Each structure stands twice: as structure tokens, then as C-alpha cells.
Structure 1
Amino acid sequence: MATLFVENLTVVDFSYLHAKRGMVGESWIVDLELSGDLDAQGMVFDFGHIKKALKQAVDERVDHRLLLPGESDLLGLHRRDDGHISLEWRYLAGEIRMVAPADSILELSGTAITKAGVTLYLMDLIRDSVPDNVTEVRVVLREQDTGTAPFYHYSHGLKKHDGNCQRIAHGHRSGIEIFENGRRSRYWEKLWADRWEDIYIGTRSDLEGTYYVEDVPHHRFRYDAEQGHFELVIPEDHCYLVDTDSTVENLAEHIAEELAREAPGKRFRVRAFEGVGKGAIAEAGEDNPGRAKAGWLQGSSVL
């Protein structure tokens, strides 16, 4: 029996519901091992087919979805005749309610969303997609190793996106690098990581209103996109409002401009990540008057 491995098969960016933290954005790197007998080509499985079939299967079923623990007492789930799902989630800080197309949600067994549970789900999914000579499947889910550098978990939705980013509740685990007058500042990085810990970043134009649910103020977001109708009610203190769409380019620019406002007379350069290995760069401050300059980044290169 032989074993092949594929590191960084894909990155799944998603959000999930947690009993204490509420809605949590996450990014997990997917590593894969396949064991079995060699086929007529002398392979366990063609690497080209792995990228086409297995990566696609993982991305379609998990990436940019909201993951729900189907056996939790905190969850109420209702499948509607129009192809949408409505749900309620009661947790310590309040209540989350959502209406969204069914394919923007993944319900898993168990009372909590865990790395082990998602791993088992992906192993079953991949077993159904490999040839008979593959007898063992191993999946490893891991976060990006950022060392001691700050990071934050955020969720959002992009109604104008022509793909799955339009889903109102998907998220990322993202690092941030902030340079003050040319020198990296862990102080500012930690401040923004704390500010956006387990946050929902909402666009003001999508905010329908603020309502009280059992004496707790909740924001209600609503929009229609190509994939269907989306609504989200979430506690106000778990939200951060921006005046633009919550693309990573706009978020990097927002952070840079806020830094320049909070620390006048200094110049700032922000590298804001959207999950793993991609993001945007923006600059603002004394040497960059007016609108911040934003640029897309992937890894350490500006594209």
C-alpha cells in the first residue's frame, strides 16, 4: 500500500455558531493523505484529479457557508417552501436569527461545531469521490501559524459579489500587520484584533434597524442578492458598522483611515488579511493626505 499527500489542498473560509461566542468566522487549511493500491498509472490517485474533484467537493460543501450543530438545544431550524432556511440561535449574549438560501448553510451532527466533527464530515465526503483502490483517507484541518502575531475572527456578507461571498454569514480568521512611521506596531495590531474579535462587520446601507430582543439591542441586516434573500439579526455589541461594502480592500482602507484619525501626525500602512495568504494594503496619515491607497495582496506580494 502506498500513501500520497497534498498539503494546502484548499482553505475553507466559513462561519459557525458557538454557544458562548455567537457567530464566529474561521479559516482552516485542509491537508490530505490518501492510501491504497497503485493503479495502472502507478499512482494512488492522479494529482490533477485531486485538484479538480476533491478540492471542488470540499469548497462546494463547506467554503463560505454557515455551519450549524444540528443536535444543539440552542438551535431552531425551519426549512421553507421557497428554498430558504430560517434559523434561531440563543446564546449567552442574545439571539441570532437568519433567513438565507439553503445552500448557504451546512448542518452537521453533534451539539457543537468542532474541528473533529468537520474532519469526519470531509473524510466521508472525500471517500465518496475517490476510486476503489483508495482504501484510507486522512484529513487534517489546521489554522495558519501566525506565531505570536495578533489575529481576529470576523463574519460578513457581500451582496454585490457574483459568487458565494454574497452569503450574509461567512467569515475568516485573519491576521493584520500595521506599520507606524515605517515600523511594525504590535500595539495597534493588538488593539484592532481585540476590537474585531468575533465580530460581525455590517454595511450601514444593509442595516434595516435596531430592535430589542429581551431587553438586548440587536441589529437587523437585510438584502437581496443573485442567490436569494438574506436577513440577519445579531446583538448590536457583536457588530461593527462600516459605510462601505465589507470587502478586504475597504476594510484595510477603513483601518488605515481610523488609525490616522486616532493618531494624527503619524503615517500608517496596513496589511489586512482575508483568511490565509490574501488580503489588501492601505496607507493613510501625515504623508498620505486624503483617501487611503488600497491594493490587493496575496502572500507577501502586491498584485
Structure 2
Amino acid sequence: MQRLIGLLGRVRERPPSGSAPAPGAAGASELREEGWGGLHSAAASGDLARLQRRWWRKRFRVNGRNAQKQTPLHLACANGHADVVRFLAGKKCQLNPRDNSKKSPLMKAVEHQHKDCVAILLEHGANPDLRGAGGNTALHLAAAIPSKSLVELLLEHNAHIDAQNKMGYTPLAVAITEHCEEMVEFLLQKGADVHARDRHKRTTLMVAVAAGDVNVIRLLLRHGAELSHEDEFGRTALSYARLSGYADIYNQWEEFVNCERTGECSAGSTEGPAVLDSSCSGTTADVPLGAPAMTGADGF
């Protein structure tokens, strides 16, 4: 295994892809208050004083829904009004309602990276493991952003680190597909299952190989990822290296596996091609991985 890690160390990593926008970025409709009345308008604009003044006659509508089935708490979380979130949570409003997109207030706070709102909700007992339309939890979202501080906070409140979405992807697998190397390492350090499989029994190592992410491959191997595991089609990580078009990785792995089987490996045999064609797209035509459903109708 150490020789294999050494081999991969000689392969030039592909250039990091451009930063993708955080999934579920705020839409203008969430940030406008016109068209809303009472509690929704006050919560959306962060007008705590108006919220408090109207409370005595509006309090029975604290869990009321707008056209998107969002409660005042949804709107306060989306816009980062922590004082309003604290006020509403303290008034015993529902903490886990889900809107038209199946997003809870906690998911809204996470996707817009309002950590103070996330902390308040969790302290008041919000469920960190609710699933959106795509089966994604708040932890999937935080891993995809990526935000270590939000992941840490969610884990401190017992979020399931190996929760699977509808594709069977754990937050670790999502971080791999998003090419978030630091998040992958962080989740592994926090105890994420390196052997987790998706609904087609693909391991996290297979996902990383199909993406051509050399640094992530090394991280997974150092944390005990197995080369011999097979998916439902009988393919191993080595098969994925071949199918993905990464000839250098495939050739070096094949040489390593063969010499390990015959016991003929030597110090010199760890030498191999040192260049990975950085023009590779990281996708595989024969075995499409796809990405976790993070947005749109099949998202949260």
C-alpha cells in the first residue's frame, strides 16, 4: 500500500476546478419582502421590533406558510437574521417545517452559510438529519459548500456523518464529487466511513478514481480504502481507472497489483509515468457517476 501511495505521489494532480457557487444560492424572491404581510414580512426583513409589536395578534400565525410553503422562520434563516431566529425559536415555533423544495429552516441557514442561525436552531433542538427531495441532509449541503465550521457544528449536534442521499452518496462522497480535498480530509478525520458505498455499490475510492482526483485518491488510500472492493457490476477501482481514461493511473495500478500478487515488487518498480494528462475531464462515458442531486426539482 505504501508503494502504491508513493506511485500516486508521482502523478501530477489535475488543476483544481473553479469554485462552484454554493448550492441553493439565495433567489431574489427570498430576499424581497413585498407581497408578504405580518410575521413573514417582519421576519424576512429582520425587523425584530415590528415582529415583537405585532406578536400579540399574530402569534397564532407563527407557523403560517407563504406561497412557497415557507414559514417566517424559513425567511429569517435564509436572510441571516439571527435575532429573529432566536425570538421565533424562543416562542416555540415549529423548528422543522419543510417548504416546497423540502428544505427546513436549518437547511436554509446552512446553504446561505449563516452559522449563527444554524447554531440557534440546533441549540433549540432542530433535526440535523431531515432529508430534502434528493435525500440530502444539512450535512451534505455543508460538505458541498464546503464549510468546515458548519460541518463541525452539525457533527457536534449529532448529525449522521454517513447519511446517504437518494443516490447513496454520503457527505464524504459529495465532497469528492465537488473536488473539495480539504473537506474530504476533514470528514475522514471526523470518522467518515471510507468504505461507504452508493446505491450501485461504488466505493468512495471508485468515485475519486472516476473523477481523476489524485490527491483525494491518496487520502482515501491512507485511510484504508480497499482496492479489491467491487461494485454491483464487478468493477474495482482499477477498472474505474481504465474506464475513466486515466491511462497513467491505470498502468501504474495494474503494475502494482500484478507485482504484489507475484511478490516481485522491488524498490525500482515503484517508478512509473510521472505525468497525468490534465486535459482529462474527470468523467467516464461508460460508467457515468453523475453528481448528487443538489439543486432543482430533484434537489433538497
TM-score w.r.t. length of structure 2: 0.22
Name which structure has the greater RCO, CA cutoff 8 Å, separation 6+. 2
Which has more strand, going by share of residues?
1
